Amino acid sequence: MGTAILFGTLLAKRIGADLRLIERHEAPDAGQFGSVLATHGIDFPHPIDCVFSSWGTGASVPTFDRDLFLTTSWWTTKATRMAVAPQKIIYLLQEDERMFYPRGDERLRCEEVLAAQDLQFVVNSEMLLRHFAEGNEPLPHVARQGCWFNPAFPADHYYDDPESRKRRTKKNFLFYARPNNLRNLYWRGLETISAVIEEGILNPDDWSFIFIGRDLKPISLPGRVCPTMRENLPWSEYAALIREIDVGLSLIDTPHPSYPPLDLAASGAVVVTNTCGLKQSLAGHSENIVCVDPTVDGLKYGIRQAVAIASNEPLCASNYARNAIMRDWSLAFEPALQRCAALVT
């Protein structure tokens, strides 16, 4: 949602439009909206209209001739297409949403929306756009009718803090853990972390273990390791925690790079993530991202590599200095903003 807030706000500023936030699941929080903008140094000088239009019983949403609708999922896109002309819709596509489902009705409905030839797409990452153009089960019209951006990680919040690392007696290992989001491979992560503790790749005498995510419950790992659980952190607290990490493990069984590996690499950590389809390497973003096969053996090898890089301060710093991670959302979005602004001129 944060990316949609940033893009929608910058697009409204670009075309001189008012801004309206429509929520389908819960009442929108204008304070949270403002907090996301403030964290990223973006101002919007006009009031924001907030509308709660829940499924079946919510408020009606008035529309006007020059409206543009930025949708953020196949289901909100489907609902919006039933009410307005498709030329008024910009679909912010941040995953191959077909991969959220097993074969069945929901996946079929999702694919029908993604297959629409009359929508404009803004795709989160060049890698995801390539997946739609060239990957397994391609939808090449998404690339033809869309544009892409690589996300930004502003240096005000995501930066290396080597002095803090030197003051700590233990290194910090982070696992991005979301047990109820199956694509994040929570159980494969636990298998791997258990194995690297048992094999001494991560010695609990030298490493602290932190799990960050959602729906977390206390667990005990080999060696009686009880990870610190952190969830639902405000953005600024999340960024501060990321700056304390030496090595991270962040898994996602989709072709999108996902944000946590880039968060970590932008903040000086070394991070292990998994390959998937065309996603075979993220070294183009940072050489401190180790991308390996999602087998236990592959991930163990990746963590061993990451520990070696993190322990070699000159190498880790040199990799960090060569990062190609975007730092400014305005620059990251610029081609997409130009394309979308042309829709109302």
Residues 132 and 212 in one domain: no
CATH number for the domain including 187?
3.40.50.2000
Number of structural domains found in the chain: 2
Please indicate, yes or no, whether residues 124 and 188 belong to a single structural domain of this protein: no
pLDDT tens for 23-43 read 877 776 777 788 888 888 888
pLDDT at 192: 98
User: Is 185 inside any structural domain?
Assistant: yes
Residue holding tokens 């975007």? 326
Residue 317 and residue 333 in one domain? no
Q: Which of 293, 310, 311, 312 has the alpha carbon at shortest distance from 302? A: 293
pLDDT > 70: percent of the chain = 98
- Number of Cβ within a 10 Å radius of residue 301: 16
pLDDT tens for residues 174-184?
999 999 999 99
The answer on 52 and 80 residing in a single domain is: yes
Regarding whether 185 and 142 lie in a shared domain, the answer is no
The answer on 138 and 113 residing in a single domain is yes
Is residue 157 domain-resident? Answer: no
In whole angstroms, give the CA distance from residue 54 to residue 68.
20
Is there a single domain that holds both residue 142 and residue 178?
no
Give the up-direction half-sphere exposure of residue 300: CA atoms within 13 A in the CB hemisphere: 13
pTM (predicted TM-score): 0.93
* Interval 47-106: pLDDT, tens: 888 888 777 665 678 788 888 999 999 999 999 998 899 999 999 999 999 999 999 999
Tokens, residue 163? 């002095």
pLDDT of residue 344: 76
pLDDT at 29: 72
Least confident interval from 30-39, 124-133, 213-222: 30-39
Kindly report the CATH number assigned to the domain that includes residue 106.
3.40.50.11090
Domain contains 252: yes
Q: Mind listing the pLDDT tens digit for each residue in 139-196?
A: 999 999 999 999 999 999 999 998 888 888 999 999 999 999 999 999 999 999 999 9
What's the whole-number average pLDDT of the chain? Answer: 93
Nearest to 305 by CA among 201, 206, 188, 214: 201
Q: 198 and 100 share a domain?
A: no
| Residue 313 φ then ψ, to 5° | -55, -45
Same domain, 167 and 302: yes
Give domain status of residue 304, yes or no.
Answer: yes
Please say whether the beta carbons of 333 and 3 come within 8 A: no
Start-to-end C-alpha separation, the chain: 27
Task: Give the C-alpha separation, 151 to 262, whole Å.
Answer: 9
Q: So what's the pLDDT on residue 24?
A: 79
Structural domain range at position 230: 162-321
Which residues, in sequence order, are CB contacts of 71 under 8 Å at separation 6+? 77, 80, 89, 90, 91, 92
The whole-angstrom separation of Cα 57 and Cα 193 is 46
The predicted-structure confidence for 264-274, as pLDDT tens digits, reads as follows 999 999 999 99
CB 189 within 8 A of CB 196: no
